[in-house]
Amino acid sequence: MTGTIEAHTFRPRDLVGGHLVVDLVNTVTARDAEPTGSIDWLDGYPRLLQWAALTGQFDPADLTALQRLAEAEPDSAAIALAHSRELREALHALITALIHQDATAPAEAVDQVEKHWKRAAAHARLTVHRQTPQFQVGVETSGLEYLNHELALRAYDLLRSLPLERTRVCPGPRCGWVFIDSSRAGRRRWCDMGTCGNSVKGRAHYQRKRQGG
């Protein structure tokens, strides 16, 4: 990925992907921006924790434990963040290839996702909750890599059941976010109508007025 790293305070409107793993992919914005390039919002491990907290998918006590570990081991936290970015970019490449129905999935992305899943599985234990077997990881076994391990496990589950007919890339200017359309009609075009949708409509209206004038 080429682009810049920029501080960003995550807000609920940033979580429009329809799945935790897709929302991770969308921590980079403006992937379609040329020539300036994309913008990476994960400017540090604390930002990753802020994003994780906003998703509501992680135990606050675990996130507090990770914050303390990161403060005590900043070098290890930086490595964990690098792994988060690596996993995110591999998932973006793989998911978008599936969306565009590429005949061959990008081999490097497949290898990266497999590598991250194997790391996660090595730290996981099999549990049965409500008669459903599942692999689980925790801070006590994964340390600062806990979020990466959890995301890698969930990514594998998502990729096996990804509804390709409803998974899209937003065509909005300076966007390129991925989203799973869960609307009843299945005709959602934008990541969010209130941002990209209105922006494009506003530009089109302005162009029509100029041409009419």
Predicted confidence at residue 205, as pLDDT, reads: 34
Predicted confidence at residue 198, as pLDDT, reads: 62
Q: How many CB atoms lie within 10 A of CB 28?
A: 21
Predicted confidence at residue 206, as pLDDT, reads: 35
- How far, in Å, CA of 191 to CA of 171, rounded? 8
Predicted confidence at residue 98, as pLDDT, reads: 96
Q: What is the pLDDT along the chain (213 residues), one digit of tens a residue?
A: 568 999 999 999 999 999 999 999 999 999 988 767 899 999 999 999 999 999 999 999 999 999 999 999 999 999 999 999 999 999 999 999 999 999 888 999 999 999 999 999 999 999 998 888 889 999 999 999 999 999 999 999 999 999 999 999 999 988 999 999 999 999 999 999 877 866 544 444 334 445 555
The full set of domain ranges for the chain reads 3-212
Predicted confidence at residue 1, as pLDDT, reads: 59
- How far, in Å, CA of 2 to CA of 153, rounded? 27
Tokens of 31: 């992937």
- How far, in Å, CA of 90 to CA of 4, rounded? 18
Predicted confidence at residue 2, as pLDDT, reads: 61
User: Class for domain 3-212, per CATH?
Assistant: mainly alpha
CA distances from 201 to 34, 81, 130, 194 (A): 21, 37, 47, 10
